[in-house]
Amino acid sequence: MPRVTRGFKARRRRNRVLKLAKGFRGGRSRLYKTATEAVDRALTYAYRDRRVKKRDFRGLWITRINAGARMNDMSYSKLMGGLKKANIELDRKVLANLAILDADAFSKVVQIAKEANA
């Protein structure tokens, strides 16, 4: 009597997992049980890190803004407070790009923040 191989649905489920494991090294891409564990872990990390990426970028932008602000004799917190008082609603991503790509425009923004703080 031949063994039962579970048929179409099980094969489709296995193939879906093995397709997700493509590019993994060794048995993680070939053995169903190992691939399942590797894929579950990879999907968990992917989900988590889509959120962590947003935090990381915010930290990077703050670092860049702080560096630009200190070149203009101002701290990050004073700059952000001054911008809030002056009703300038530039987000951190835009401010960081200004600090890197257009230092003159950034120093004008810092001047406005200084005047609002004074």
Residue corresponding to tokens 């004073």: 78
* Residue 6, pLDDT score: 85
Q: Where do the domains of the chain lie?
A: 7-117
The answer to whether the pTM exceeds 0.85 is no
d(CA 24, CA 118): 59
45-74 confidence digits (pLDDT tens): 999 999 999 999 999 999 999 999 999 999
3: its two tokens: 């063994």
Contacts of 79 (CB under 8 A, 6+ apart): 65, 69, 110, 113
Q: Which residues of the chain have pLDDT under 70?
A: none
Query: For domain 7-117, is the CATH number 1.10.1900.20?
Result: yes
**Whether the Cβ atoms of residue 36 and residue 25 lie closer than 8 Å to each other:** no
